[in-house]
Structure 1
Amino acid sequence: MPSAPLPRAVFAMDPVHLPLLFPEPLMARLRRTAEIDSALVVRDFSDGSAAAQLADAEVLITGWGCPRLDDRLFASAPRLRAVLHAAGSVRSLVDDALWERGVTVSSAVTGNAVPVAEYTLAMILLTGKHVFTHRERFRRTHALPTSAETAATGNVGRRVGVIGASRVGRRLLELLRAHDFDVLLHDPYVDAAEAAELGARLVPLDDLLQRSDIVSLHAPDIPETHHLLDHARLALIRDGGVLINTARGALVDHAALTDELVSGRLHAVLDVTEPEPLPADSPLYRLPNVFLTPHIAGSLGNELERLGRIVVEELERLAAGLPLVHEVRHTDLARVA
């Protein structure tokens, strides 16, 4: 009995990412699963040089730098039945018409959650040990800390407040289980029983801010969460508290946060800001109580292969007629990153 023909696929992303997403062994596995030209990476769906391949494409493998999937795509790729996204969120990429046409969408966002959660855990452990404070003191004094200066240092029983049981938030909660933290969670879509299963106690947002030593943001960037932490809510965080943001800068009112940080009342670890990057004259670059990184918590370097592997596995399921594991549903977009 003849085997079924391989699905025809096309890459659509910034080609700079392709070698890291699909190193040769993974690319070879992909070519065994789909008919694809690995030298063709589409940046413009109206580009005539890709017209023939798009006309026959059943699967679009997307990534960072992919143009928005709108009517231009449908005009060029009438046979399209699946989009496999080798990156994180698809919210800014997809158009409602994609689902109206019955196209299946899958994302490697779960894979991208892994390094973000790992980064966040590392920062929780470091800030709980007051590493950045002790580093600054050591730079100034060249002296070992006294017992009085380390009395409040340590992670045993430190209370961590997690805002958002997103994929990153859930992965972080899983990682926190190995440590002696007291974990609080706020998420309007989670009940107390589910929070307990995740290893946390569900509390209202204001309670979490007031009771936590370290607050970590993992909510989606949607209209309801814009400036979720405004001046009033930032004021609820206890003196000396730490805010960690690896989600989106727009979740925090940065003018209000800057005021708190300049005053020295709070500490912050910020991998994302609003705007991004911050202006060159922002005091956050120079404050000793701020640890600022350039949006590096997500997948970078060799971590991109994890995203490519998820896409190849999804493609193999698609070719075999099996359900996808990482499918994104239209109804999900209103509440996920």
Structure 2
Amino acid sequence: MTSSPSYSARRPATVLAMSPGTRTAVLSGRILPKLVRVADLDPELLVSDFGDDDPGLGRRLAEAEVLFTSWGCPPLDAGALERMPRLRAVVHAAGSVKHHVTEACWDRGLLVSSAAIANAVPVAEYTLAAILFSNKRVLESAHAYRSARGPIDLLGCYPAVGNYRRTVGLIGASLIGRRVLELLRPFDLRVLVHDPYADPAEIATLGGEACALDELLSRSDVVSLHAPELPGTRRLLDAARLALMPDGATLINTARGSLVDTAALTEELVTRRLHAVLDHTEPEVLPAGSPLFNLPNVLLTPHVAGSLGGELDRLAATAVAELERYAHGLPFRYPVDPARLAYSA
């Protein structure tokens, strides 16, 4: 009987690279002890500028084999990498690595892991709630009830509400989009999916129906955005495409505000033809005078769909587990593929 290979755990020299506020939020008292057990790490040493000339920092960077990063990590350009000749891996306790992992990292052959799969969970949960509430017209009826301060003719005012046999359109079969597909399985909903890079057969296996973007917009009662922010997706939903959405349809955006023409969407929402749940806008903080703050058919949230509070532990725990795999000589479970970055978040 042959035994499985054994791997001797070691504690690779690791440096934290993120903003001070992120360290406080992400590395809670539950997570930090686990990280210190896995890595040779000074928890008080934090890099927020790779150009910092502090001698102690310079020595630690020169010894670093792993960077443990999160929001606020400065770019890992060629100059930064020169200070880290022993660097072999970047473990990111957040989602996208595009803000700090540069082409120089791939040229060096660095291994990169991301906890994006963990961040997908709360965004998908937010989206599920938004879909179900949107079809039920919860926001609109709550506003009407608050204004009336008395009985409302629900059957007369809301004859077509509900989630039975409604159609949901997901734009983007990303990690989040696929998680939303999973969460929608128990409901009596038809789910359309548009993603030019996804295999239609795989979409069908997940419970969706692949279709063209314009067809998805014209057929869906709720449209939810899960596409990445790329040059080709900027204002993907412009005035012409928003006009394809049926009267009374809802747009949910937990992706990026740049995917939607804000002015065109505002025009549609002011007329009350469409509804919207917006966790991202362009600009990210709308001007104080924007009508979207007060419209009864619009729910604005301040970028809360992603990991917050206790959900940050899931992000950090995922990253610590990746670092532990690295320490045991195992491949990352959630590696970042540079070939996919051109069309992913």
The TM-score by the shorter chain falls in which range?
over 0.9
In angstroms, what is the RMSD of aligned CA positions? Answer: 1.3
- Secondary structure, in 3 states, of the residue corresponding to 1:315? helix
State the partner residue of 1:209.
217
Once the two structures are superposed, residues 46-67 of structure 1 have per-residue CA deviations (whole angstroms, 9 ceiling, x without a partner) of 2123111111000001111111
Q: 1:23 offset after TM fit, Å?
A: 2.3
Whole-angstrom distance in 1 between the partners of 2:265 and 2:9: 58
Q: Do 2:10 and 2:328's aligned partners in 1 also have CA atoms closer than 8 Å?
A: no
State the partner residue of 1:68.
75
Q: 1:133 offset after TM fit, Å?
A: 1.0
- Secondary structure, in 3 states, of the residue corresponding to 1:39? strand
Q: Give runs of aligned pairs for residues 212-227 of structure 1, distance below 5 A.
A: 212-227=220-235
Whole-angstrom distance in 2 between the partners of 1:267 and 1:6: 52
State the partner residue of 1:6.
11
Q: 1:200 offset after TM fit, Å?
A: 0.7
Q: Give runs of aligned pairs for residues 276-315 of structure 1, distance below 5 A.
A: 276-315=284-323
Q: Give runs of aligned pairs for residues 1-337 of structure 1, distance below 5 A.
A: 5-49=10-54, 50-146=57-153, 147-337=155-345
Once the two structures are superposed, residues 112-142 of structure 1 have per-residue CA deviations (whole angstroms, 9 ceiling, x without a partner) of 1110000010111111110011011112212
Percent of residue pairs bearing the same amino acid type: 56
State the partner residue of 2:3.
none
Whole-angstrom distance in 1 between the partners of 2:81 and 2:190: 50
- Secondary structure, in 3 states, of the residue corresponding to 1:258? helix
Q: Do 1:20 and 1:305's aligned partners in 2 also have CA atoms closer than 8 Å?
A: no
Amino acid aligned to 1:112: N
Runs of at least 5 residues in structure 1 that lack an aligned partner in the other structure: none
- Secondary structure, in 3 states, of the residue corresponding to 1:25? coil
Whole-angstrom distance in 2 between the partners of 1:326 and 1:4: 20
User: Structure 1 residues 211, 35: closer, same or farther in 2, change over 3 A?
Assistant: same
Whole-angstrom distance in 2 between the partners of 1:62 and 1:8: 14
Q: Do 2:257 and 2:281's aligned partners in 1 also have CA atoms closer than 8 Å?
A: yes
Once the two structures are superposed, residues 20-77 of structure 1 have per-residue CA deviations (whole angstroms, 9 ceiling, x without a partner) of 3222332222112110001111111121231111110000011111111112321211
| TM, length-normalised to structure 1 | 0.97
| TM, length-normalised to structure 2 | 0.95
The number of residues matched between the two structures is 336
Q: 1:4 offset after TM fit, Å?
A: 6.3
Of residues 138-147 and 9-18 in structure 1, the stretch that sits farther from structure 2 once superposed is 138-147
Of residues 149-158 and 271-280 in structure 1, the stretch that sits farther from structure 2 once superposed is 149-158
Whole-angstrom distance in 1 between the partners of 2:17 and 2:38: 18
Q: 1:189 offset after TM fit, Å?
A: 1.2
Amino acid aligned to 2:156: A
Whole-angstrom distance in 1 between the partners of 2:113 and 2:199: 27
Q: 1:5 offset after TM fit, Å?
A: 4.5
Q: Do 2:10 and 2:327's aligned partners in 1 also have CA atoms closer than 8 Å?
A: no
Amino acid aligned to 1:252: V
Q: 1:158 offset after TM fit, Å?
A: 1.1
Of residues 76-85 and 147-156 in structure 1, the stretch that sits farther from structure 2 once superposed is 147-156
Q: 1:191 offset after TM fit, Å?
A: 2.6
